[in-house]
Amino acid sequence: MSSQHAILIVDDEAELRENLAALLGHEGFQTFTAETGMEGLRVLAKEQIDVVLLDLIIPGMDGIETMQEMRKLRSTVKFIMLTAFATVNTAVQAIRKGASDYLSKPFLFDDLVAVIRRCLEEARFEMQIQSCNLDQTLASLANPIRRRIIEMLGQTSALRMTDISMALAISDHTKTMFHLRILKEAQLIRQGEDKLYTLTLPGTNAFNLLRVLGKSKV
């Protein structure tokens, strides 16, 4: 199975489909094409698609109808609507119905690649959230000291309580132990027989989530 991100292009303009498929292939994406919504649904049923580039005006079902049917089939797929009829109303309608973004033809290929990468980042962020026990994780990470502990363990793999206190400039070890206990109860960290603290799998997911949130502020 390919580790590439897969893009499905649904557009009734054959030349555009093939050109986009070739260009996106050069960018490292795996590409699939379809002329109609029904063809696109058949591809989606067979392939693990990450992002669908979907023309708003296509034969049979239009782009928004196609998107709604595709979302029933694969809820995690991201959609970028393409249209030559760029109006505020169609853009708003597409976003409200579930599209992640919207491009009007003609568009710059670099702009399309940037939008695709944003959609993939959005999908990765959503997966991180789903893989965490969200309520408990967010409550545990509300405190900046606990966020810093997760970040340190994510960067250094394993630390002793004294190392954590020193890095946080906390002289009262009972305060450090309090925050470590909260993180242990949330199953974000564990302590081994060697007294070293490490991240659990949910803790690693929380660390990755913090990294994504940090990038989104840039």
pLDDT at 86 over 70: no
Question: CA torsion angle for 106, 109, 111, 116 (degrees, to 10)?
Answer: 110
Provide φ and ψ at 6, rounded to 5°.
-105, 135
Residue ranges matching CATH 3.40.50.2300 in the chain? 6-123
pLDDT at 1 over 60: no
pLDDT digits (tens, 9 = 90+) for 114-132: 999 989 988 877 776 665 5
How confident is the model at residue 160, as a pLDDT?
A: 94
Q: How many residues does the chain have?
A: 218
CATH number of this structure's domain 6-123 = 3.40.50.2300
Find, among 181, 183, 188, the residue nearest to 204 by Cα: 188
pLDDT at 136 over 70: no
pLDDT digits (tens, 9 = 90+) for 38-59: 999 999 999 999 999 999 989 8
Residue ranges matching CATH 1.10.10.10 in the chain? 134-216
How confident is the model at residue 146, as a pLDDT?
A: 92
pLDDT digits (tens, 9 = 90+) for 60-74: 999 999 999 999 998
Average pLDDT, the chain: 86
pLDDT digits (tens, 9 = 90+) for 160-217: 999 999 999 888 888 899 899 989 988 899 999 899 999 998 888 888 878 877 654 4
| Tokens (6 digits) for 88 | 């505020």
134-216, what's its fold? Answer: Arc Repressor Mutant, subunit A (1.10.10)
Please say whether the beta carbons of 34 and 63 come within 8 A.
Answer: no
Find, among 3, 68, 63, 73, the residue nearest to 34 by Cα: 63
Inter-CA distances, 100 with 79, 95, 122, Å: 6, 6, 9
